[in-house]
Amino acid sequence: MAEINIILATDCGSTTTKAILIEKIDGEYRLSVRGEAPTTVEAPFDDVTVGVLNAVREIEELSGRKIIDDGGLIMRPASGEKTGVDLYLSTSSAGGGLQMTVAGVVKSMSAESAQRAALGAGAIIIDVIAVDDGRKDYEKVRRIRELRPDMILTSGGTDGGTVKHLAEIAEMLLAADPKPRLGLGMKLPVIFAGNKEARKPFMDILKEKVDLKVVDNLRPSLEAENLGPARAAIHELFLQHVMQQAPGYGKLSSWTDSGIMSTPNAVGRIIETIAAQFSMNVLAVDIGGATTDVFSVFDGTFTRTVSANLGMSYSICNVLTEAGIANIQRWVPFDSDETDLRNRLRNKMIRPTTIPHTLDDLRIEQAVSREALRLAFDHHKSLARSLKGVQQVRTIGEIMDQSETGQTLVKMMNLDMIIGSGGVLSHAPRAAETAYMMMDAYQPEGITMLAKDSIFMMPQLGVLSVVHPEAAAQVFERDCLIKFGHVIAPVGNGKAGDAACTITIDGSDQAFKCGTLTVIPLGLGETKEVTIRPGRNFDMGAGKGKPVTAKVEGGTVGLMIDTRGRPMQLPTDKKLRISKLQEWHSSLGLEVGG
């Protein structure tokens, strides 16, 4: 590969196109400038490249580098001149992103593996069809016909297993005769990732009706899950079918040095890259107006989920419905009227672009965000599980548990970092507010770094990580992440006033009682070695009451000590709860409102 010194990357979002310029300075890659412009995929422009060029022109003005030639194309560098870029990459979620239906034989096995494959490839799943999902065949046929997904992923049966049920799924698709969302007269892409013995009968039934692609089985055996080939096929078909139908994407594809990647897929890639390069377990969230995406890497296993009905503007009333008014009110640090609260949220839904105008508005929005984040995380944990159907050695207690699901891969005590992004987290007036929302929603355990994506450049860095992982990792660590600091949270519960833990820092001991939230000043880049001695009912990862010595790092908030208990339990009495919320706000230097 020729030496790469200047990199341009764009992300075409549904409303805004963002561009970043990365330069190699003194041997390391750093973010140089950033530009943005409205996305132009819809009328009157109907050409996504107009918005891309507008965003890049802002980069030109800020950097003094000429990037677009007289013909409106991205230039390559000319020797001795400040022109062009060595590498141009792009991601996109414009036009509604990648919308998929997945189908499997058993809902809790093959269909769930198909969900993991599709979600990991950056898709929004609009329905999950399974032979055993409880719906009548005609209901499934009608649903497939009505939804008009961009593509369908089918799976089921271990290799050498069931053929009959996969043939039934093929017959169902034949009866539905589904049409793709984009591209008149085109055949719907269907990926078959099931039992290899069923490939021929599946193809015989559907070969004339759909654009069929066959890949290796998602579940070749009960003990194995093979998601890679299906994800690669989804990405390839996304470029060929979905991107080529969107206005201007054919032209944009010809400019880029690598295929256009869907925005959620790109975010997943950078999370995977960072987790691998720094040997970390990472949890990341992107909370938007309509959806909330959650990404995690635990012990090398990547999982992504989309909560398509949980967001902070268009979907805010869905959060109200799913969480319930009481669960939102429990986070409001002043006495709030239920009717007034409902009306505020309804107003936000019908005026989705408004932002909080008063401190009360802000605190209510942040209360809703805690529930949206919590619910999306619960959804994520339900899919980030070990394989179902696998025989495991279990204790008597586990055998008595009738749950059919595998064990969740999300182990909070093993989590190294939580990264937040999306308007309510990225644009909170103070860093402590973002850290506070994340602590309440995720309830980290042990020692966990909290951080946020500074300007939401994770998509561009994700597509860059495929081509140049070193550059992506350097910019991510130095320019993308804003660290709030480590949070220390002993697991366990005790009465108010009981000793939760004692921390030795700089040779002196500090005791922390149950039910408190404390910030110890520790700046960006500052580290300390601490010894944490939990109370006898508390655990820091080594066992109840056993001390732990660790290196902790500060940030824009500092070193946070959270002794509110795990699982955290808010007081049931309203006055006492509001008093505690006000105390915790105060300990973080935040005004309450009300």
What are 161-211's pLDDT values in tens digits?
Answer: 889 999 999 999 999 988 888 776 788 999 999 999 999 999 999 988 899
What is the Cα gyration radius of the chain?
25
What integer pLDDT is reported at residue 404 of this predicted model?
43
Q: Identify which has the larger pLDDT, 41 or 335.
A: 335
What integer pLDDT is reported at residue 288 of this predicted model?
83
What integer pLDDT is reported at residue 392 of this predicted model?
39
Q: Identify which has the larger pLDDT, 560 or 132.
A: 560
What integer pLDDT is reported at residue 250 of this predicted model?
85
422 pLDDT tier (thresholds 50, 70, 90) = confident
For 85, half-sphere exposure in the C-beta direction (CA atoms, 13 angstrom radius) is 27
The pLDDT of 231-239, averaged and rounded, is 85
CA 106 → CA 223, 361, 481, distances in Å?
Answer: 15, 45, 40
Reference 38, options 10, 17, 67, 61; nearest CA is 17
Q: Is 569 exposed, middle or buried (0-12, 13-18, 19+ CB in 10 A)?
A: exposed
Q: Are strands 417-421 and 446-453 parallel, antiparallel or unpaired?
A: parallel
What integer pLDDT is reported at residue 400 of this predicted model?
33
What integer pLDDT is reported at residue 94 of this predicted model?
67
What integer pLDDT is reported at residue 352 of this predicted model?
81
Please give the mean pLDDT across all residues of the chain: 89
What is the C-alpha separation between 541 and 415, in angstroms, rounded?
Answer: 11
pLDDT at 470 > cutoff 60: yes
What is the C-alpha separation between 240 and 235, in angstroms, rounded?
Answer: 9
Residues in the chain: 594
What is the C-alpha separation between 297 and 504, in angstroms, rounded?
Answer: 31
What are 523-538's pLDDT values in tens digits?
Answer: 999 999 999 999 999 9
What is the C-alpha separation between 422 and 290, in angstroms, rounded?
Answer: 11
Q: Are strands 559-562 and 517-520 parallel, antiparallel or unpaired?
A: antiparallel
The pLDDT of 243-265, averaged and rounded, is 85
pLDDT at 397 > cutoff 50: no
The pLDDT of 275-279, averaged and rounded, is 89
What is the C-alpha separation between 529 and 546, in angstroms, rounded?
Answer: 17
What are 337-390's pLDDT values in tens digits?
Answer: 999 999 999 998 888 878 899 999 999 999 999 999 999 999 999 888 877 654
Which residue's structure tokens are 């000590």? Answer: 561
Give me the architecture of the 97-250 domain, per CATH: 3-Layer(aba) Sandwich (3.40)
The pLDDT of 322-328, averaged and rounded, is 95
pLDDT at 566 > cutoff 50: yes
Ranges of each domain in the chain: 6-94, 97-250, 282-307+408-587
What integer pLDDT is reported at residue 406 of this predicted model?
63
Q: Which residues contact 208 (CB under 8 A, 6 or more apart)?
A: none
pLDDT at 418 > cutoff 90: yes
CA 352 → CA 35, 289, 294, 311, distances in Å?
Answer: 24, 8, 22, 10
Cis bond before residue 44 (omega within 30° of 0)? yes
What is the C-alpha separation between 172 and 115, in angstroms, rounded?
Answer: 19
The string of DSSP codes covering 533-562 is: EE-TT-BSSS-BT--EEEEEE--SS-EEEE
What is the C-alpha separation between 568 and 266, in angstroms, rounded?
Answer: 34
Q: Which of these ranges, 92-96, 146-150, 452-456, has the smallest mean pLDDT?
A: 92-96
DSSP state of 479: I
Reference 151, options 127, 185, 120; nearest CA is 127
pLDDT at 405 > cutoff 60: no
What is the C-alpha separation between 235 and 30, in angstroms, rounded?
Answer: 28
Q: Is 174 exposed, middle or buried (0-12, 13-18, 19+ CB in 10 A)?
A: middle
Strand order of the β-sheet with 548-553 is 508-513, 499-505, 527-534, 548-553
408 pLDDT tier (thresholds 50, 70, 90) = confident
Reference 346, options 324, 306, 386, 316; nearest CA is 316
Most confidently modeled range among 156-160, 454-458, 554-558: 554-558
What is the C-alpha separation between 445 and 562, in angstroms, rounded?
Answer: 9
What integer pLDDT is reported at residue 247 of this predicted model?
84
Q: Is 215 exposed, middle or buried (0-12, 13-18, 19+ CB in 10 A)?
A: buried
Q: Domain 6-94 belongs to what topology?
A: Nucleotidyltransferase; domain 5 (3.30.420)
Most confidently modeled range among 106-115, 151-160, 443-452: 443-452
> Do 6-94 and 97-250 have matching folds?
no
What integer pLDDT is reported at residue 389 of this predicted model?
55
What integer pLDDT is reported at residue 208 of this predicted model?
85
What are 28-69's pLDDT values in tens digits?
Answer: 999 999 999 988 887 888 899 999 999 999 999 999 999 999
